[in-house]
A and B are shown apart, each in its own frame.
Chain A
Amino acid sequence: MAEVKTAKFKKASSQAVSDPKLQNTLEHVMGHFIEARAGAIEEFGDESWDQMRERASSIKKHALENLDYYLDLIDRTIQKNGGHVHFAKDTQEANRIVLDIAKKAEAKRVIKSKSMVSEEMGLNKALEKAGIEPVETDLGEYIIQLADEPPFHIIAPAMHKTKQEVSELFQDWLRTAPTQDIKQLCIIARDALREKFSTADIGVSGANFVVAETGTVVLVTNEGNGRMTTSTPKIHIAVSGIEKVLPAIEDVGLFLRLLPRSATGQRITSYNTFVSGPKFSTDEDGPEEFHLIMVDNGRLNLMRDPEFREALKCIRCGACLNTCPIYRKVGGHSYGWVYPGPIGAVITPVLTNIKQSKDLPYASTLCGACRDVCPVKIDIPKLLLKLRHMAVEGDSSQRSVSWIERLMIGQWRKTVSTRSSIERATNLARFLQVVVTKKGIIRNLPLPLISGWTKSRDFPALAPKSFAQLWQEKFSEETDG
């Protein structure tokens, strides 16, 4: 499995917020995504867009509640089409399935179109270890493969790289001349990858949807690398999370309306590829072998809980990332694993390690913007709250909240449990705050846990008299009388 660095959230995020170049890029790109999405959903009007989301949500819900049936149907249908379906409990198993296929075919080079599950698997590293060359062919993925970095964003993996940095990577790896022309950079990548396309033995793709009824893997792409990956090699392997299932082929239309609009703000992407098996013998070209690997890797832990199950509806559009005030500042790498942003903060802890990922559910203002844009209506704030609840009151594998916090909250609860105790406490504080207060504000509050706050903003001093006291003095007679 790809390395999990969620424990470093605090450090990584503070580095990110103090990197002005990154902040600039984030603001620019996120703004672009948000605007594009808003423009693309306008044609429907709020009400019918909402109805579409509702329908999509209930289709996904149904698919998940009957997932055993649909997975079986997928297997039977694809087998009938001449393909093979594999089930993998974890990433190790998934990698092994790919390697077995590759070894049998004596493969030397694997081309990949974008697949988040293969990122989970750390497939590239596994292939390299086996002496097989993996080549990412989505431009963004190719760039971060050269840079040896994980994706920064679900749908824009290299959005943090400037054209200058891309040019430098190409100079280093492809010995090309420096250029600031983005079109030229695309041509360099295209030419470098053409060679790989025509010589690769295996193509590995992800799956945006897997349709149970017809046994069809649906790919949603823009560049054409997804088509190449499923056309030029002898073998095509699609890897998918088990949650990608849609029951019926007639469900696809709705999801093709929701996904690109939510993701890039396009009405539809340039290409949609539907694969149900290997080429027919009479076909002119195409892979002779087709494999679909359905990967669990912790998803059943989400499935087991009816509330977390909601998170499996995700179609990985990235809209929640773009709108999230936190993601927009800390960027994708801070989250420490494959899936960043609000949905990452929900699923990463469960798919990897809840305790180690303790920062993720707390690094949110619960503003709810993610829930509003999600095309399948996942109530992300609710799930973050659930994870927080587990951090406080869960079992020993889940509890991560420190004793100081527990003590403080307990104390606070006692204080606010009666009016007299709160008056006592605040009167004492009023007395003490004189030391730190100037003109009704506190510029530096030297208390543990809170001092960070006053580094950049003032804290208000307690008012000379509480409202309750004022009420007594000012208003109560009038109401009594």
Chain B
Amino acid sequence: MCVTCLVDQFFPEVGIATVNSLRKAGVDVDFPSDQTCCGQIAFNGGFQSEAKKIAERFLDIFEGESYVVVPSGSCASMIKVYYLELFQDDPVLLERAQKLSERTHELSEFLVNVAGHQNIDASYHAKVTYHDACHLLRELGISDEPRELMKSVEGLELSEMQDSDRCCGFGGLFSVKYPEISKAILEEKLRNIESSGADILVANDCGCLMHIRGAMSRQGMKQEAMHIAQLLSPDADRS
């Protein structure tokens, strides 16, 4: 398992929920303790040499045969898609990246397609709405799996928001460099969340979650933002 840097430092509870939901699916989970970050922030910033160094380190740490499960769409995309681009001129690293790419899965997609758990034995009583994180949806083409999982959670009602597939305006560095534009985009997302009538916003990417949650708490919205793993853990239901 790669928990991603955001989960590691800011949202460890998501990491714990990820471990729990994987274990419940009968998966043997290991956490290579040297892991830090996949290098996406540097890559997206145009710092390819820096990103390469981090990515090489990542290849070392996650060398082997086992699956690499990532609870985040954008980090999974970085590993599965962009590493291949990063190493396109280096046949040796490219081959390693290729192998890693094949072994790497985003959490929800892993649970459904690899672990074969469309039906999660979990219960969570709440009305939720789902935000399609951009990279999860458009780099990895994952949109059905998380929805299937949510539908299988007892007591969970999924109320789709308008334009669930539209970006929340995070974009990593983008939200730092252009906070006003980012905020304007985010506000549209918040409106859509609000009018979905859901109590909880669910996403599979801690970048989006951090962004959306940040605005929710600032604006005093009553809704919460949660990672999908947090709905799937056995002891998650608090209602």
Contacts and interface: CB of A to CB of B under 8 A. Distances in A.
Touch A–B, Cβ below 8 Å: yes
A282 interface: no
A310 to B, nearest CB: 14
A184 to B, nearest CB: 34
A251 interface: no
B29 A479 contact: yes
Contact of A463 (B10, B30, B173): B10
B95 interface: no
Interface of A: 10, 13-14, 17-18, 23, 27, 325-326, 328-330, 362-369, 371-372, 382, 385, 387-393, 401, 405-406, 409-410, 412-413, 416-419, 422, 426, 441, 443, 449-450, 452-453, 455-463, 465-472, 474-476, 479
B197 interface: no
Contact of A388 (B10, B46, B49): B46
Contact of A452 (B45, B176, B188): B176
Interface of B is mostly: helix
A18 B167 contact: no
Interface string B58-101: 00000000000000000000000000010000000000000000
10 contacts: A13-B181, A329-B181, A368-B139, A385-B44, A388-B44, A392-B46, A417-B36, A452-B176, A458-B213, A466-B8
Contact of A365 (B31, B35, B169): B169
A462 B215 contact: no
A468 B3 CA distance: 9
B9 to A, nearest CB: 5
A369 B10 contact: no
B33 interface: yes
B42 A412 contact: yes
B5 interface: yes
Contact of B12 (A27, A362, A455, A465): A465
Given A409-B50, A419-B35, A458 B135 contact: no
B217 A449 contact: no
A330 B181 contact: yes
Nearest to B74: A366
A417 B44 contact: no
Contacts of A390: 46
B112 interface: no
B183 A457 contact: yes
Contacts of B185: 325-326, 328-329, 365
B86 to A, nearest CB: 10
Interface string B115-133: 0000000000000000000
A66 B12 CA distance: 55
Contacts of A385: 43-44, 46
A416 B213 contact: no
A449 B175 CA distance: 10
Q: Which of A367, A368, A387, A470 has the most CB of B within 10 A?
A: A367
Contacts of A463: 9-13
Nearest to A474: B16
Interface in B165-191: 165-167, 169-186, 188
B54 interface: yes
Contact of A455 (B11, B50, B53, B179): B179
Given A329-B185, A462-B9, A470-B15, A364 B31 contact: no
B9 A426 contact: yes
B183 A468 contact: no
B12 A401 contact: no
A453 B8 contact: no
Interface in B21-63: 28-31, 33-37, 41-50, 53-54, 57
A372 B173 CA distance: 23
Contact of A367 (B9, B15, B45, B134): B134
B7 interface: yes
A329 B181 CA distance: 7
Q: Which of A27, A405, A413 has the most CB of B within 10 A?
A: A413
A371 B139 CA distance: 10
A363 B178 CA distance: 7
Contacts of B134: 365-369
B211 A18 contact: no
A274 B161 CA distance: 45
Contacts of A18: 180
A457 B85 CA distance: 33
A457 B12 contact: no
Given A382-B85, A387-B46, A462-B10, 12 more contacts: A27-B188, A330-B181, A362-B178, A409-B47, A416-B36, A452-B179, A458-B214, A458-B215, A458-B218, A467-B31, A468-B35, A470-B16
Q: Which of A23, A366, A372, A422 has the most CB of B within 10 A?
A: A366
Nearest to B42: A409
Contacts of B135: 366, 368
Given A329-B181, A365-B169, A472-B33, A393 B49 contact: yes
B19 interface: yes
B46 A457 contact: no
A409 B173 CA distance: 11
A418 B34 CA distance: 7
Given A365-B167, A419-B36, A460 B177 contact: no
Q: List the 9 closest pairs (A to B, CB-CB), nearest first.
A: A365-B171, A388-B46, A452-B179, A457-B214, A368-B138, A467-B15, A367-B134, A367-B167, A467-B12
B54 A468 contact: no
B166 A325 contact: yes
Nearest to A455: B179
Nearest to A470: B12
A371 B15 contact: no
B142 interface: no
B3 A467 contact: yes
Nearest to A410: B50
A391 B11 contact: no
Nearest to A14: B180
Given A13-B181, A326-B185, A456-B179, A416 B46 contact: no
B174 A362 contact: yes
Interface string B187-231: 010000000000000000000001101110110000000000000
B176 A450 contact: yes
Contact of B42 (A413, A418, A460, A469): A413
Nearest to A406: B47
A326 B181 contact: yes
